[in-house]
Each structure stands twice: as structure tokens, then as C-alpha cells.
A and B are shown apart, each in its own frame.
Chain A
Amino acid sequence: MQAQLIATDIACRRGDRLLFKGLSLACAPGDAVQVTGSNGVGKSSLIRILAGLLRPFAGEVSSVGGIGLVDERLSLDPNLPLGRALEFWERLDGCRDPGRALEVLQLEPLLDVPVRYLSTGQKKRAALARLLNRNCPIWLLDEPLNGLDTQARKSVEALVALHCNGGGITVVASHQPFALPQGKTLAIEDYAA
């Protein structure tokens, strides 16, 4: 079964404010889209709607294939060493070879460090490792570059390119430039209500 992610005519309301409306998005295998817009315009809300975590105010979202989400929340136990914290998700995802992700993201030297001592960029890399180990076709990334240094940014962009070349779908919400294979962007401001 081929992965796909389709949103039709969705609108998003937070509180009593309509953030955007009439937004449609169709992703086939290999597609990558960057969602752009300034702070508070609804990028994160769109990502959560696409993930199925937030009900759209109007419209529909349908997806085929597993969804992996990386947002500002780490979902790793802060008191555990990184290796043990990641191990929980590896076990849940049935991941057999967690070593590759750790190597690509250069996390191996940090495995014994409790998660709460990690820097912002290191935490981000840990979340990306969890995403890689999940081995799912649809990636939803909310500000994946926050706190990353130039080298780590390059490797995240390379990972996304590799994922899409392999038939994956990626939606990146970021206010920073993000090099995507086809360079497709979706400006939420165009749909502002």
C-alpha cells in the first residue's frame, strides 16, 4: 500500500480565532512540503491536524501509512539516560537496529547522559532518532531545525531527502529556510482567514 496524506479544505480555529481556512494539501510518495509562516499563524496547529491529534474546524484529513511526529515536546523521560529513554520507543516500534540512527545523528557518545542534561540541539537530535527508528512513511516535523548547528542542519536535510527518495512523505513546518528535494512550500498566510 502506498503512503499518502491528503487534507481537503481544512480550517483551523483556536479559541475564538479562525487561524486559516480553505487549506488543501495532497502528498504522494516522495513528496516533501515546507509549511512557512510567521509565529502564531498556525503552523504547529496544521501539523497537529495532519497528525490527527487536533480536529480541524472544517474539512477532512486522510492518511495511509504510519505517521511519525517530531515537535517541541520530547516524549523522553528526563531522568533516564538517553539510551534507556530511547529504548522504550524502540521496543514499542519493534525497531531491531537502533544503531544506525544513533550513528547518523551522532548520539552514541550521549547514550549515558540523562535526558535533562542534554542541550536543545541534542534533544532535537534525540527526537529525530526516535523518528528514524520508527521507520514510518509519513514524517511530520515541527520546527526540526531549532537549536541545531550548521552541521546538524545539513544532516537533517540530508535525512529528509533520503526519506523522500525512498518513497516517504515529509511535511516540515519551519520559519527557517529548509532545503527540500523539490523545494515545494505552502505559505499559511495565503489561507489566513
Chain B
Amino acid sequence: MSAALTLLRRDLARLMPGGSGGGVLPLLFFLAVAMLYPFAVGPDAQLLARTGGGVIWVAALLAAILPLEKLVTDDLDAGVFDQLYLRDVSEELAMAVRLLAHWLAFAPLLLLATLPAAALLGLDGETTRTVLLGLLAGTPGLAAVGLAVAALTASMRGGAALAGLMVIPLAVPILIFGAGALARPDPSALLFTAAISLVLVALAPFASAAAIRASRES
């Protein structure tokens, strides 16, 4: 348990804005998309209010890709996972902790940034609430897919660009149900989003751990 806490402290220090990982860049990217969209489609308030929720979802998905580059590669290259293995810290534990740290580093700030983004797109209160709930349910799944893909591509040259491409199809179910919640008045789509997230969160530490072990053999 104390090993997990020590790992979490290090991962958070690295991944949080101000650490050596991505920093605030994903957030600025997210806000930039919300800001550019009205410029691109014109100041039609009704159109913006109708499509804005979906735009926020797409921006969130793309912003979730940005921190992936540093998520696993640096530690793999530096031999950190080897040293952890020799200390009987399993790759599964290390990856589960990293998943938590990765989510904590980008999701809460993303939810906060959703408020100004919703204001920029002129969303009403009800829609903003649905978007926020959807992102709350969907971001753990996005983080899980991101981590697994980052671990799979970590030992490859140019893996970061490939990771970005690989995340997109895997994240489509979250996007469909998460953004789909905006079109329906009942909460079933949100619950589906949460269920998909839960499955992905449960699988990701094992998939990423297997990827890290496999990279030792190459």
C-alpha cells in the first residue's frame, strides 16, 4: 500500500500541470477548439447551442491524446519499470496507479474548463450539466484507453503519433454514448458511458502491464 502511495505521489508530481509531463497544454488546446468553432461556423446562436455539446466532446477526446506521449515512454526508456519489478512492484500496480494519476491530472481541470467552453458556445444550463456528467463518466475510459495505447506504443519509434491514431477508434463508443446523452432526455446513455468506462478502467492496467513486459523481450 505504501508503495502505491509513493508511486502515486511521483506520478502526480510528474503529470500535473507544472510537472515534466504535458502540463496545461491539453487544457489550452481544449479551450482553443471551443473558441475557434464559433469563428468557423459563424455566430448563429441556435446552431452553436445545438452542436456545441458535441464539439466539446470532440475537443475533450483530442485533448486526452496530447499527454500520452510522456505517459509511459520516458519511464520505459529510463528503466523505471525494471527497477520496480526488482522491488516486487508489479507492472499491474504501477499501471493502475498511473491510470489514476493520469485521470487526476487531466480530467478535473478539463471539467472546470468545460464551463468557459460552454459559455463560449452559448450552451444552456441543462446541456452544460449533461456534458459535464457525460465527461465525468467518460474521461476515466478515455484515460484507460490512452494508457493502454501509450504502453503498447511506448517502445516504438514515433509511437506517440501512432498512439493518437489508435486511441480514436477505441474511444468511439465513449463518444457515441457520452455525446449521445445530449440528444435524449433520459439518463441511459450516461449510464452506458459509465459502464464502458468501467470496463476499460478494469482492463487497462492488465493490458498495459502486459505491453510493458512484452517490450522487455524486444
A interface residues with partner B (beta carbon < 8 Å): 48, 51-55, 66-69, 71, 73-80, 88-89, 91-93, 130, 134
Task: Encode contact with A along B81-119: 1 for CB under 8 Å, 0 otherwise.
Answer: 011111101000000000000000000000000000000
Are B217 and A51 in contact, with the CB atoms below 8 A?
Answer: no
Q: How many angstroms from the CA of A68 to the CA of B87 in the assembled complex?
A: 8
| CB <8 Å contact, B86 and A51 | yes
Contacts known (A54-B216, A54-B217); A92 close to B79, Cβ less than 8 A: no
Contact of B3 among A52, A55, A73, A92 (CB under 8 A): A92
Inside 8 A of A67's CB, which chain B residues have their CB?
86
A75 contact set on B, CB distance < 8 A: 78-80, 82-83
In the bound complex, how far is the Cα of B86 from the Cα of A66, in angstroms? 7
The residue in chain B whose Cβ has the minimal distance to the Cβ of A88 is: B10
Shortest distance from the beta carbon of A80 to any chain B beta carbon, whole Å: 8
Tell me the bound Cα distance from A78 to B86 in angstroms. 21
Could you tell me the distance between the alpha carbons of A76 and B20 in the complex, rounded to whole angstroms? 13
Q: Given known contacts A51-B86, A76-B78, A93-B87, is B6 in contact with A88 (CB within 8 Å)?
A: yes
Contacts of A78 on B, CB cut-off 8 Å? 20, 78
| B77 adjacent to chain A (CB < 8 Å) | yes
| Least Cβ–Cβ distance between B168 and chain A, in angstroms | 30
B19 and chain A: residue at smallest CB distance: A79
Asked whether B77 lies within 8 Å of A53 as measured between CB atoms, the reply is no
Which residues of the partner chain B approach A73 to less than 8 Å between Cβ atoms? 77-79, 82
**A128, B39: Cα distance in complex, Å:** 57
Selected from B14, B79, B82, the residue in CB contact (under 8 A) with A77 is B14
Q: Can you spell out 23 A-B residue pairs with CB atoms less than 8 angstroms apart?
A: A48-B216, A53-B82, A53-B85, A53-B86, A67-B86, A68-B86, A69-B82, A69-B86, A73-B78, A75-B78, A75-B80, A75-B82, A76-B78, A78-B78, A79-B20, A80-B20, A88-B6, A88-B10, A89-B83, A92-B7, A92-B84, A93-B87, A130-B83
One of B6, B79, B80 near A91 (C-beta < 8 A): B6
When the two chains form their complex, are residues B216 and A53 in contact, meaning their CB atoms are under 8 A apart? yes
Q: Which residues of B contact A52 (CB under 8 A)?
A: 85-86
B34-89, CB < 8 A from A: 77-80, 82-87, 89
Quick check: B6 and A74 within 8 Å, CB to CB? no
